Amino acid sequence: MSESFQPFERLALIGIGLIGSSLAINARAHSLAKHIAISTRRAETLTRAEELGLGDSFHLQAADAVKDADLVILCVPVGSVGAVTKEIAPALKSGAIVSDVGSVKGSVIAQMRPHLPEDVEFVPAHPIAGTEQSGPDAGFLELFEKRWCILTPVQGASEAATERLKTFWIACGSDVEIMTAEHHDRVLAIVSHLPHLIAYNIVGTAYDMEEVTQSEVVKYSASGFRDFTRLAASDPTMWRDVFLNNRDATLEVLARFSEDLSVLQRAIRDGKGDQLFETFTKTRAIRREIIEAGQDTPKPNFGRTKPPKKWEG
């Protein structure tokens, strides 16, 4: 972290799942906030966050957590941000930066903005990082390391607020990009939302196939199917809300995918090996580019290790 970074006086995290708990761990480890206030609606989850030492104060009421906070980050499913914003709006401090971590931005802005006071800064964000784990135990320090975080500041947000939030995410280890909400939603529909939809579908197909027993699906799983199951194990509430709130962009890329899939289907049926080879060669190059860009590793199992279950800060 840059020595010039001035810690926030009070950081309020609303929701303490994978992203929220990882933010809390980073804020503590890198001294990004003098006080970390945590709120979640379930008492048992809040108790677990306190047992893990993720914050300094713990609140069942989100409005209590955001009081006097100069940075408020909503770490809740995108379908819930409107209701949460309405709840916390009267308690927001003038000049506070309000953000989120949702993987859909257009819908989040439409839900949150009407409830926000004019004297707060609204800078939506999306850290492109995650695992299939959820809950306060899932967080770990390195989650955001060398991963992109996209900011989509709304019209009227000050450059100072955007820069302040940008330095916060950089301190968490992220590379930061700024773009419009519309562009974000189209890009994420193809690189994140569609892959998850395909994963949910293919694992569901395997589950439903009567001629293949469940034991065989598990016993003979090859690496490709195993990776699909990792995606398909992601938080169902979060991904339900993602698809419902990024409907247009998802349907657009899904239609294109269906057309391309039909082309491959015809190539297999007609025995067009050259066409298949050309397609597979082209797509193989994308994998190499991802590795060269530092977004993954050629190590076995993508270099993934099991994230630690407890913050030992």
Q: What local confidence, expressed as pLDDT, does residue 310 receive?
A: 42
| Cross-strand pairs, 125 | 151
Query: Which domains does the chain possess?
Result: 11-180 (3.40.50.720), 184-303 (1.10.3660.10)
Q: What local confidence, expressed as pLDDT, does residue 213 receive?
A: 65
**In the predicted model, is pLDDT for residue 304 greater than 60?**
no
The mean pLDDT value for 282-307 works out to 67
**In the predicted model, is pLDDT for residue 4 greater than 50?**
yes
Strands 71-74 and 36-39: unpaired
CA atoms within 13 A on the CB side of 58: 20
Cα–Cα distance between 117 and 95 in angstroms, integer? 10
Contacts of residue 146, Cβ cutoff 8 Å, sequence gap at least 6: 173, 174, 175, 294, 295
Cα–Cα distance between 303 and 312 in angstroms, integer? 23
Residues comprising the chain, all counted: 313
Cα–Cα distance between 110 and 195 in angstroms, integer? 25
Highest-confidence segment of 165-179, 181-195, 254-268, 291-305 = 165-179
The mean pLDDT value for 92-110 works out to 96
Contacts of residue 269, Cβ cutoff 8 Å, sequence gap at least 6: none
Q: What local confidence, expressed as pLDDT, does residue 202 receive?
A: 83
302: left (phi over 0), alpha (psi -120 to 50) or beta: left
Contacts of residue 242, Cβ cutoff 8 Å, sequence gap at least 6: 78, 102, 103, 104, 193, 196
Sign of the torsion angle spanned by Cα atoms 171, 174, 176, 181: negative
- pLDDT, one tens digit per residue, over 15-73 is 999 999 999 999 999 999 999 999 999 999 999 999 999 999 999 999 999 999 999 99
Which amino acid makes up residue 57? S
**In the predicted model, is pLDDT for residue 210 greater than 90?**
no
**In the predicted model, is pLDDT for residue 3 greater than 80?**
no
Q: Quick one: pLDDT band at residue 120, thresholds 50, 70, 90?
A: very high
Q: Quick one: pLDDT band at residue 1, thresholds 50, 70, 90?
A: very low
Cα–Cα distance between 13 and 58 in angstroms, integer? 10
Kindly report the average pLDDT of the chain as a whole number. Answer: 88
Strand order in the sheet with 121-122: 57-59, 36-39, 11-14, 71-74, 97-100, 121-122
Q: Do residues 27 and 33 touch, judged by C-beta distance below 8 A?
A: yes
Q: Do residues 231 and 199 touch, judged by C-beta distance below 8 A?
A: yes
| 91-95, 212-216, 263-267, 297-301: least confident range | 297-301
Instruction: Pick 199 or 113 by higher pLDDT.
Output: 113
The mean pLDDT value for 196-221 works out to 76
| Cross-strand pairs, 97 | 71, 121
- pLDDT, one tens digit per residue, over 249-264 is 889 889 988 999 999 9
| Residue pointed to by tokens 């979640």 | 40
| pLDDT over 90, % of the chain | 61
**In the predicted model, is pLDDT for residue 297 greater than 80?**
no
**In the predicted model, is pLDDT for residue 301 greater than 70?**
no
Least Cα distance to 105 among 129, 126, 135 occurs for 126
Backbone angles phi, psi at 14, to 5 degrees: -100, 105
Q: Quick one: pLDDT band at residue 223, thresholds 50, 70, 90?
A: low
| pLDDT over 70, % of the chain | 89
